[in-house]
Structures are given as C-alpha cells and as structure tokens.
Amino acid sequence: MSHSTLALPASDRGWILCSGGSEIARNADLSALVGHRSDVLVALPAASVSTFVAELPPVEAALHESMIKAQVDKRGLSAKGPALIDYERIGETDRGETFAVRVVAEPSPDTILPTAGGYETSAGLRGKASPGTNAMIWREHGRLILGVFIDGIPAHVQVLSGKPELGKALASEVKLILLGLRGESVFENAAPRELLLALDPIGEKEWIEFRSALSIPVRPEVPRFPVKAEDRPRLLPSAIVDHRRRRRNGVRRLAILAVGLVVYAVVGFWVWKEAKATEREMASLERRIGIIQPDVERVQLVEERWSRLEPAFDKDLFPIVQLSRITAALPGSGVVIREYRTTGQDIRVRGQARDVQLANRLLEDLQGMNGFERYEWSMPNPRVERNNTATFEIQGKLKHEGTDA
C-alpha cells in the first residue's frame, strides 16, 4: 500500500513526520508524534535492521523464503521469537538469483504502533528519495549510517563506529567497508561510483579532509524525503498483526451482531404485524358470532322441540302403526308378544317363542319390513326355559339418532 505520510528517525534522538516530501512535525516520542493516525508509514531505524546479500541457486520461487530463512539462522540473526525477514531481488544470472535481505530480530518497543499503516526501513526510504545513488551517508539518532544501494534497494547498511563528524578517521572506515564489499560477486558490476553525503550542515575543513581520503567522488546533498513509499508487509511486527486480527474479528462480530439485530427487528415487526392482523380478525369473528348467536340459539331450540314433536307427525313412529307392523311380522303360531314399548326413538318387544329359531325369524322379518328400515334391530341371546321355549327381547333404535339429536 502506498503512503504519503512517513515517520522517519531524525538526525538527533527524535522522529520526523513528513508528508509529500516535506517535514510537518517533529517529536522525541514516536507514539505522540503519530497519535491515532492510521495512514503513517513508520521507518525502522538502521540500528535495528541487519542487511546482507544472499545468492540463491536456480530454484522455484516458493523455496526462496525457506532458503533465505536458513541463511538468516546461519548468520545468527534470528531472535528468540520469530524475526521479521524481508527480501527483494536485486540481480539474476545463470548461477541463480541475488536478494537483498533485511532482518529485524527484535523491533524496538517504541516503534510498535498498533495504528501504524505499515513499516519500511529507513535505508529503504533513503534509497527511494535518491534512486540514482550508489552509496549514501546520513545521520540517524545521532550516529552516521552508510548505505550501499543497487537500483535504489539497500544492499548493505552499516552503522559507522567512528565519531559522528566527518574526517579522515571516518573516511578510512568507509573506504575499508567499500573495499570489503568488492569481495562479493554482486558488487563486481555494481560497485559504488559516487558517495552522497545527506548531511546538514557540513564544515568546510571536515569536508576537505573527508573527500581527500576517499578514492570515489563525494557529493553533498540536502537530506530529502520520498514523496510516497510502499510499505513492506513482511516487516509488520507480530504484535500489530495480532492487533489487526483482533480488530477485524471485533468488527466482524459487530457486523454479525448488527445484522442479527436487524433480522430480529424485521422478524419481530412481522410477528407483531401478523399478531395485530390476527387480533383484528378474531375481534371481527367475535362480533359476527355475537350477531348470529341469538339465531343459532333459536335454531337449536326449534330443533330440540321438533325432535320431541316429530313422533306425533311421522306415522312410522306412531305406536299403533308400529304395533300393527310387529303383529303382521309374527308367524302363524309359536310366538307370543308379552310386552311392547315405544318412545318413537326406541322400540322394545318382549315375548316367548316355541324355540330360538322362531325368535330369530321374527328378528329377520322386522329387519326386512317396510317402515322399519329406519331402525337398527338387535336381540341378545334368547333365554331357553325348562319347557324348551325361548324368552326373547328385541330392541330397535333409530339409525343416526345421535347425529339427529
């Protein structure tokens, strides 16, 4: 991600906040300088970053990270915890690829800002500010830093051990460092051709002594800052990664909760609306029932009265007519009717037959007689007397009596 607001180590012990390539604020405390801004790119000080060149044989790109990690461990640059390792390709030959590797073993606690937009090294930002530079010296947190660049990418960064002023001693140290770099194959065709002094101010005597002791041209320049810079995701401290993950999870939970509340509100409103509609419908039905209830009661009363009067109007229910039909169903002899009772709804006939067969025959004749088809006829087993006669009781009930009632 590109950032136009940068926080860089100042030449003294403080920090500089710049935007669009210009300084806008300065403070000794980085957190106080940045505040709660989330668009600031923080430059890691050169003293906390180890930079070296790694040459890898031709392998798949997926293996680069593990091979570079092995070289970091071999150099003893890994911290007790996971170190921050960043790398960029700076060359490619038939023998393989060359990478500039940057390692931050233990980020300084004062550089870990949970709201920071991203991280880069201060040397990386210096190279972007002066992309055509081969070598540069700048002052950072009171110490002089030497950076050697290939295509604007820092390939070697070293904190100079001499005094933080120009002079013959510092020039000798820089000369030895540059001579030592010639032993690495990557610098055979990319040896520094010019040294840029991004220092302000420079004394004339110091300048002459320093320049005369070096074999490459030296050029002073006012310190510059890049207008924009890209952050390096691999340099993001794990504490900030965890903080961002927790913040994303918190935002996700809030979003889920908000969606749940909206759904709950919509469902609740729909249920409330349906309940109101049901309540109105029930009230309407109750009003209708209240209107027709007297008519229903009158109909029920009329039906009840008719059920009591119906036998007086239906000839099939007249006792005399029923007795006449029962008498007509009797066989010529062998059956005597002792008792006959009727309510219109029920008929009960008790009698005595010469034998059980005659009693069953009488039951069958009643079941098939016209005018008695409305009745359901039944007869319990007749009781056989000592003289072998059978005492019987035949019952008839109007069909669907319960429904009609």
List pLDDT tens digits, range 20-34. Answer: 888 899 899 888 998
pLDDT in tens, 351-383: 999 998 988 998 998 888 888 888 899 999 999
pLDDT in tens, 207-228: 888 888 888 898 888 888 888 8
Domain boundary among 264, 297, 313: 313
Confidence class for position 392, pLDDT limits 50, 70, 90: very high
Q: Write the CATH number for 399.
A: 3.30.1360.100
Predicted local distance difference test score (pLDDT) of residue 114: 86
Q: Strand pairing of 375-378 and 390-398?
A: antiparallel
| Domain count along the chain | 3
Residues 28 and 143 in one domain: yes
Residues 159 and 304 in one domain: no
Residues 268 and 384 in one domain: no
Confidence class for position 251, pLDDT limits 50, 70, 90: confident
pLDDT in tens, 68-82: 999 888 888 876 667
The one-character DSSP state at 164 is S
Phi, psi of 96 (to 5 degrees): 145, -155
Mean pLDDT of the chain: 86
Domain hosting residue 68, numbered range: 2-237
Name the token pair of 384. Answer: 């056989």
CA dist 333 → 171, 290, 326, 381 (Å):
156, 63, 14, 21
Least confident of 135-139, 275-279, 336-340, 397-401: 397-401
Residues 229 and 285 in one domain: no
Domain boundary among 266, 292, 313: 313
Name the token pair of 18. Answer: 């710049």
Residues 270 and 158 in one domain: no
Residues 245 and 258 in one domain: yes
Residues 232 and 347 in one domain: no
Name the token pair of 233. Answer: 């995701």
Domain boundary among 313, 329, 347: 313
Residues 108 and 221 in one domain: yes
Residues 335 and 233 in one domain: no
Mean pLDDT of 100-118: 87
CB 86 within 8 A of CB 101: yes
Predicted local distance difference test score (pLDDT) of residue 402: 45
Predicted local distance difference test score (pLDDT) of residue 378: 93
Q: State the DSSP H helix or E strand holding residue 248, giving kind and residue range, or none if neither.
A: helix 238-313
Residues 299 and 320 in one domain: no
Distance CA 116, CA 120 (A): 11
Mean pLDDT of 329-356: 88
Residues 400 and 253 in one domain: no
State the pTM of this model: 0.60
Residues 264 and 247 in one domain: yes
